[in-house]
Every structure is written in structure tokens, then in C-alpha cells.
Amino acid sequence: MSICLKHSRKSQDVSGTVAVVGATGAVGGIVLDEIVKQKLPYGKLKLLASERSAGTIIEVAGQPITVELLEPEAFKGVDLVIASTPDEVAAEFVPWAVERGAVVVDESAFYRMNPDVPLVIPEVNAQAASEHKGIIASPNCSTTQMVVALHPLRNAAGLRQIIVSTYQAVSGAGLAANTETIENTHKVLKGQTGQVSVFQHDIAMNLIPQIGSHKEAGFTSEEVKMVRETHKIFGDDTIAINATCVRVPVLVGHSESIYCETEQPLELDEIKRLFSEADGVTLIDDLDNQEYPMPRPCADKPDVFVGRVRKDLHHECGISFWCVSDNLRKGAATNAVQIGKLLSESVAANLSLPNN
């Protein structure tokens, strides 16, 4: 049976057209790969981008598709939009799509804290997607992996406090950041000075303890995002969260050192069991054999990887662990496509009515 993802039509009015906005970008390309891998159903696939990229031909599942211009009429007849664009682009085009009846899964930060827009991680708060009014936001990459990892602990024992330090890959700042990192690393090895344009300082063989702009109380915008988005996803703003976000010279894969305090104590074996059984989490934790998550081995994989799991020696409810995830996959494209698939499965279930 065909399905309809439109928020403003009756379920029998179907077309099954999916549009990917920002299809020629780094994350957009991974969105297309995830659409194929996750088998997101569609009758027609449209690729939309700026005037500079319109006319480009991209092959998806063996079929060449010509990229169309991102303009209001491009969304006519579109059911689902998955978008990977800067905030200012999302602010302009998302209303075009919603006005024409499409549901937009937006990866930008522009709509995330809008009270009318659900902020969704399917493994954590899938039910929130049903509350959409045409827009569903996908969270920040660093927030996503942390929340996926904490979710099973919170379900089992509550959650009182989170202290997180992130070690974020340069690809989170775009393709130009990868290029700058590689080129400057070669220069540093030769005793030369690299050119700095993407970051505040040269990231080659260096760490930069600032991601985003300066916000209140000395925190950066990235750190504030982790606090506010986590509160919204969990639906609980009483959780005490302190984040420190650091850019590291890794190309792909964010790492996080997470300490949390649960409401009730959990034994170490139970903590590991919860991680090993959690949806979207892979536990790699064997210190004797030097087995734990690292960015390079975890790249191009959809899961959130957890290791170095420990109980606090001085607090019975304290838990420390290490968390790694591909920031371009689960942190962006994978999560967005999972939301799209969640919508399609939900509509298909609602349409599965007994024959009269």
C-alpha cells in the first residue's frame, strides 16, 4: 500500500515523494546513502540544492537523478523532506515546504528549541514525532550520542546530573575544516605555518576548547545546545548538566567522556547489561585487552559506541563512561533518515486497517 507523509491531507491522498535538501553537501550525500541502507520507502526521490549545484547528476541506488533548484515550487507534491542546510537556509525554505503540505525533518539548529517543533531521536523519544506540525528537528550531533547512551540508564534508575567533556571531530565544521586540518598537518610536520580560516586557531596537532560563540556565564553555544536540547528530548529540565566542548584534530567521529549520577544506584554488571541491550548502542569494554571505542574504527557506522564503563569510587549513584559516534552518521544523516522511516512506518501502521 502507498503511504502519505503529509500533515495536511487525508491518509488516502498519497504520493510518496521524498525530497533531500542540501543533497550535494557532505551530510546530504550521507543522507542519500542512509536512505538506501535503511530502505526508506519512496515513490519518487527529488534532490534539491542551491543554484550553484542545480543540474548536477547524482546516482542513488544505481539511478541517476538531476539536482533541482531549491525554490518554493520544488516542494509541490512532496510528502517528506530531509534537509541538511545551514540555519539561515532552513529558516527560508522550510516554510515553503510546510505550506505545500510536506513534513520536514530538519538537521539545522534553527527550529530545535521551537516549542511547536519536536526534537527527536527515534531510540529515545519516538513518540514525540507524532506531535509535529509539519516540522521535526534532529538534534545536535554531540547531544544525540550522549542522549542515546544515557537513555537506558535514565529509564532504569532516573538521572540527576550529567558532566560531559566532548572531543569533537573537525568534520562537524564542514568539508573545508577537513581540508584545512589535513593541509595544516602536513605544514606543521615540515616546520611551516598553516593557514587558518575555518577555526579560531590552527587545529593541526592541537586542541581548541571552544566550539561555537561565547554565550552566558562563559559557556559556548555548543555547550548550551547540549544542555537545552537534552532537557527538551528527555522532557526534564531538572537534570543538572555541565558541558565542555573541545575541537580535536580527528576527521570523523565525536568522542565524549561522560559522568552521570542516577537517582537510584546500579551495579556495574547491570550498567553494562543496560548498555549492551540498548537500541542503537554497542558496548566495547575490555580494558585488559585494550578494547574500547575509538573514532577511526567507529567511523561510517550508525551506532553509538560505549566503553570504559566504571562506577564512581565515592558515590554509589555515580557512573563514568566513554562514548564515540560518527558525527556525520548518527549525529546527523542517520538520525534524520531514521526519523523519516519512523514517520513512514507510523503512517503505514495507521493505514493497515481491516477490510470492510
Q: What positions carry a catalytic annotation?
A: 141, 254
Asked whether 347 and 11 are in contact (CB, 8 A), the reply is yes
- Residue 269 CA to residue 8 CA, distance in Å, equals 48
| Whether 226 contacts 140, CB under 8 Å | yes
232-263 burial, b for 16+ CB within 10 Å, e for fewer? bbbeeeebebebbbebbbbebbbbbebbbbbe
Pairing relation of β-strands 254-261 and 318-325?
A: antiparallel
CA–CA distance, 35 with 334 (Å, rounded to integer):
9
Give the position of cell 551495579.
267
For 112, half-sphere exposure in the C-beta direction (CA atoms, 13 angstrom radius) is 23
Return d(Cα 286, Cα 281) in angstroms, integer: 16
DSSP single-letter state for residue 326: -
Q: Work out whether strand 57-60 and strand 318-325 pair parallel, antiparallel, or are unpaired.
A: unpaired
Q: Kindly give, in sequence order, each residue whose CB lies less than 8 Å from that of residue 89, ignoring residues fewer than 6 positions away.
A: 22, 70, 108
DSSP 8-state assignment for residue 208: B
- CA 339, 349, 342 angle in degrees (round to 5)? 5
Closest of 73, 70, 9, 16 to residue 40, by C-alpha: 16
Per-residue DSSP letter, 7: S
The count of C-alpha atoms lying within 13 angstroms of the C-alpha of 26, restricted to the half-sphere facing its C-beta, is 17
